[in-house]
Each structure stands twice: as structure tokens, then as C-alpha cells.
Chains A and B, each alone.
Chain A
Amino acid sequence: MIKAADINTMQRGDIAVIVAVDRAQRDPAGAQRLHEMGFEEGVDIELLHRAPLGGDPLAVRVGNMTVALRKSLAALVEVAPDLPAA
């Protein structure tokens, strides 16, 4: 992927790697909370579910945790596609 993407660009079932938790330092407090929930650079992330009626919030697997978050927070997390196992 050439362009940087956030969680919101992922489809259900996609697995990616977290590149940055606080994209462009937009929300340091929000990023701190994401870190507490296990979001960390280099950790794999999978989009599990979207809520009914508009797909907000999302449920993602981060490492070994399942976390629910709204699109607005998900936009802080920059991801890159997981490299296929060669």
C-alpha cells in the first residue's frame, strides 16, 4: 500500500499491522488510551465486526485483545497491510 491508511479503510476479516497509534499527533489523550488498550506499533490488528446501522463502532482484535471503538478513534491508528507469509 502506498498511501497511509487507518483502521477505517479495513474490510471485515482484514489483518494489518499498526504503524502509528497517534497519527499526526492529532489526539494525544486518545492515543494514550489506545495504548492502554493494547494498541502498539508493530502489533497485528484484525477488523472483526462493525456495529449495525452505519458500521460505527468497530470491533477489532489487537494482539490478543478484542476492543470496541468508534470510527473517530479508529482514524488515529495508522495501519499497513500485513505482509503475506512468504
Chain B
Amino acid sequence: MNAVTPPPVAAQRPRLVALVGNPNAGKTSLFNALTGSRQKVGNYPGVTVERKAGRLALPSGETVELLDLPGTYSLTPRSPDEAVTRDVVLGTAAHERRPDLIVAVIDATNLRNHLRFVLELRRLGLPMVVALNMADLAERDGTRIDTSELSTILGMAVIPTVAVRRRGLAELGAAVAPLLGTGTTAHAAPPAADIRLLQREAGAIAKAVVVEGGGAKRWSQRLDALTLHPVAGPLLLAALLFLMFQGVFSLAEAPMELLASGVVWLQGLVTSVLPDGWLRSLLVDGVLGGVGAVVVFLPQILILFLFILILEQSGYMVRAAFLMDRLMARVGLNGRAFIPLISSFACAIPGIMATRTIDAPKDRLTTILIAPLMTCSARLPVYAIIIAAFIPATKVGGLFNLQGLVLFALYGFGVGGALLAAWVLRRTVTKGPTPTFLMEMPKYQWPAPRDIGIGLWQRAWAFLARAGTIILASTVALWALASWPNPPEGATRPALEYSIAGKIGAGLEPLFRPIGFNKEIALALVPGMAAREVAVSALGTVYSLQGTDADHAEPLVGALRAAWSLPTALAFLAWYVFAPQCISTLAVTRRETNGWKWPAFMFGYLFAMAYAGAGITYWAARWLLG
């Protein structure tokens, strides 16, 4: 520790406190408990590592900025995520101040290995406080830790915390406050430590402070006997995934109908208040029709994220990665890729960003390239509307809904396509050494409702922000393209055919005619480039603008039933299993791969797959249906 002179800038900016720790130390739970909903999630420029920060009021009255740094096992980074943690604590990060203090979050049930990292962090010379997290679990296991002895040996405050129960938070704040401003921000990086020496030292400390050693999490191991069982394990995984997709459809039904009727009510309100004209058409058809058609799917997206968050936070996701590793190895990937790919079921963007935890570059690139083949939630609106229009809701085997089964099959085609693509890519463009697989299996935990709630809130907000920006802009643009110019006097054809959009659709139609797509589909695919779900609102706009005013009230489902043949509908579904239709995904791929080469490649190969998939589906369906 150096001189006690607070830096002069402290008056303007709140001091920075960083949470650092191994993955699974409960760092994010602690962060959520300390900051509640006062969080800001952003990105570090240049790298797409998420920056999570929040405000924390200390008992001393001072408010500090609390930073949740990516979890890492050491300061030797193996992935972009871990590099951010190292750069920030060393003070070499380009877009982050060096923290004034580090809170090392360690798992009381795994003292030895977590202490090793504390010793590595201590060498940095920053003021430090240890949060001995999951203190309750250690007690339950029969482990008693002498915290004052640990504090003496480490030379820093050690505060027992239980993040999920908000225990020890005030004490932690009280320990942090007096240390602020006692460090100096200019420190040379210490030479890399020999990990064996640190391990030995940590082992000796752990031995000295553990008064009573307890048995290791027995029930976690007992649960593993089921979840990792060679037969029962994969069956359980399949059942969980199936339950997830059935749940997405059945649980979301009621809130979706509520949202849909809300949109219709608003449209009615606008229609009754405004005189007939372009403004009314813009609000009713463009804004409410377009954005409304997408916002309706928020319940499904939230339910999907809810399942994923529960699987992640309970510790099951790593077990799934373990079970999937063999299959992933066959196509040249590793089990670690399973987690980004599962996240991609919600959205490819967080999925692609989650590949930062994959250390082998070729492995990571392949995972990025196949991530868009995982059926993201943006496809759900598209699938849902087509399934609702063309697949009867009959019971199959007295238990399953045919619509749910078709949805499950579409997800299956996506996964199959992804594995096939990975297999081909790893033998051609991303050829390289076989990566390995090494992961800690955290103990099982009940997911904390607060952590799930905050996670859901952040995702819902991100989705609504998208609906409010990209989707709103593109639906309004499409509405304009579809509304002008007006049809000439005495025109007999639908007004749309005379508009700019109609001309673009007509221009693209020859390209898509061989795979069974009509002009309206070709037209909807154009704004659908902005975001997949926009295609639904585009179809809504196209079909409610087409024909007479009376058609306005007719739901899209009915319009599609009247306009499309079954082979066309199936081809459209097949197109969406593979299609590279998301500008945001391409943009994030460009950022993650540092150039346009890979996003261009991604677009090309996905387009080819989508075209072939839709074509085969269309002709096979025509042949089968006579």
C-alpha cells in the first residue's frame, strides 16, 4: 500500500471497484445483489466483451462505480473475455480506468483453488477485499473457515457473503470504504507467477484456516449420477429441450393473445380518432401493424430466455456441454461450443459474443459461422405465423400438439444443418488442430429469482429496444415503399403493384420463383434483411395494404391461407431455417472476426443453404401432395 493521498480526479468521477473471481464463484449474483437494477450493460469498444457496471452506495456515504469483470481462473488470458479482466486490473485497458480497489470473489466451498487466484491478484498491489461467497453452502457441507485467520494471513479484509440471500453486503461495503484512495494507480505489472508455487501457498493457507473439513457437495454428485448417466443423461437433455420448446408455444399463448388484442385496440383507437389519410395509414399499418406484429412475440422470447437462464444458473448447462462434447468432437468442435449455440436459440448475437470463451481460434470461428443456424427467437414470429396458418392444431398420440412438433422439427433441421456445416467447414475453410475440452462443473444451485429476473429484464429491454429502432425504422420505410407512388386513375390491380416495393418484389421474383416464392414473399424478404422478424410485419403490411380497405381487419393468418399454397408455406419455413437474414448478426460477426471476409462468407454459404433447402422442400412437397 502506498501513500494515503486520494487522486484529485476522485471528486469528479466515482471511484471504480472491480469484482474479480473464478467463473462460478457467484460473482454476478454478488454484483446483482449489490447493484440491484441500477446496472448498465454496454460493450468495450473494439472487442465485444460485455461491460457490466452499476452504482453502489457505501455506508460511508460515498458512491462508487462497481464493475463486474469477466470470470477467469488466472491472469494468463486464453480468450478475449479473460484478456479484458487482465488488462483492466493491470491498468493497461484502453477504455477503462484502473480500478481503485478489487473485490476478489471466492467460493468458500472451493477455497484452495480460489485462494490461488487471490494470491495472484494480491501481487498487483491494488487495495483488495475478499468476499468469501457461498459461506452458507460451506457451512452446510460441514466446512468451518476461520475468517480472521484467513484475513491475517492474506493481509486483507475477508467478508463472508451469501450473495443469493443478500448476506454480508453491508459488511462488504464497510470493508471497502476505508480502503478507497489508499492505492496508487501507477503500478508496473508484476512478473508472471509460477502457478505451482501459488498452488502450494494456497494449499497451505487453506489447510491453516479450515477448522473443520466437510464432505464435498454430495448431493451435487448424486444428481450427476443421473444427469451424466450414459443413457439417462442424454434422454434427460432431450426431454428438457423438448419441454422448453413445447413450453415456448403453450405458456406464451395467453399473454400473446392479450398483446395482440391490445394492438388491435390501439389500431381501432387511431382509426376512430384520425381522419382517413396517409398519417392514419402510417400509424395503423406501418407502426402498429409492423411493430405490433413483432412485440406480440415478446412472451415467447422471454419464456425461451427463462429456460436458458435457469439451465445456466442451476449449473446444468455445463453438464449438457459434457454430454454433447462427443457429438461436437465428431464435427470438429468441442462441448464448450454447445453453450454459445444454445444461447443462439435465443439470439445469435449473444451466442456469437459468447464464443469469446472458446480459446482455439479456428474452433471459435467455426462456432461463429454456424451460430446463425440455431433457430433464434427472431425466427419464432415467422415460424409461428406460418404454422398457425398452415399446420392444424391436432393432437398427435393424444399428448403432443402437431404445431409444437413441427416447430421442434424446424429446430431440429437448424441443428442438423449446423452440424453438417461445421463438419464441412472444419475440413475446408477452418481446417486446423483439434481443440480440446476442459471445463469446471459447478455445483448445482437453485437459480436465484433476482438473478433470473435481472437477466430476463436485460434481454426483454434489448428486444424492445430493437423493436423500437431497427424494426420500427424498417417497417416505416417499407410502409413508405409500399404506399408510393399511388396507383394511376382507374387502376384495377392492387395498389401495391404500382408502388416502389412492388417493383422491387417483381424484380426479385424471378430469382425466387423456382423455389415457390411469390412476389409478396420476395418483397417481404427485402426488409427482412434488417431483422428476421420484420418479415412478419412486412407480410402484414403487404397483405393488409393489398386489395380493399375491408381487408385491413382481416388477420394475417387468413390472408396467408388465401394467398399461399402449402408447398410455398413449407418452402418459406425451410428458407427461414437457414437464411442469413439479420444485419445485426453479420455486423457482430464482422466485429468478432475483424473484417468483412467472414461475414461475407457467412452470408454466401447460408444463402446457398437456404435456397437449396427451400427449393428441395417446395418440389418435394409438390410431388408428395400431387
Interface residues of A (CB under 8 A from B): 30, 32-38, 40-41, 48-54, 56-57, 59, 61, 63-70, 72-73
Contact = CB atoms under 8 A, between A and B. Distances in A.
B326 A52 contact: yes
Contact of A61 (B111, B216, B323, B325): B216
B326 A65 contact: no
Nearest to A41: B196
B437 A70 contact: yes
A54 B323 CA distance: 11
Consensus secondary structure, chain A interface: mixed
Interface in B110-134: 110-113
A70 B322 CA distance: 10
B439 A68 contact: yes
A40 to B, nearest CB: 5
Contact of A69 (B76, B229, B438): B438
A36 B74 contact: yes
Contacts of A63: 110, 112-113
B499 interface: no
B325 A70 contact: yes
B250 interface: no
Of A37, A41, A51, A53, most B-chain CB atoms within 10 Å: A51
Contact of A67 (B196, B203, B438): B438
Contacts of A73: 436-438
A57 B322 contact: yes
Given A64-B109, A65-B440, A68-B318, A52 B233 contact: yes
Nearest to B321: A68
A36 B195 contact: yes
B199 A40 contact: yes
A63 B207 CA distance: 12
Given A68-B440, A69-B438, 16 more contacts: A36-B74, A37-B438, A38-B110, A51-B326, A52-B323, A52-B326, A53-B230, A56-B326, A57-B326, A63-B112, A65-B113, A66-B221, A66-B224, A68-B439, A69-B437, A70-B437
A66 B225 CA distance: 13
B144 to A, nearest CB: 15
25 contacts: A33-B438, A35-B196, A36-B76, A40-B200, A41-B196, A49-B224, A49-B228, A49-B322, A51-B325, A53-B326, A63-B110, A63-B113, A64-B109, A64-B110, A66-B220, A66-B221, A66-B441, A67-B438, A68-B335, A68-B437, A68-B440, A69-B437, A69-B438, A70-B325, A70-B334
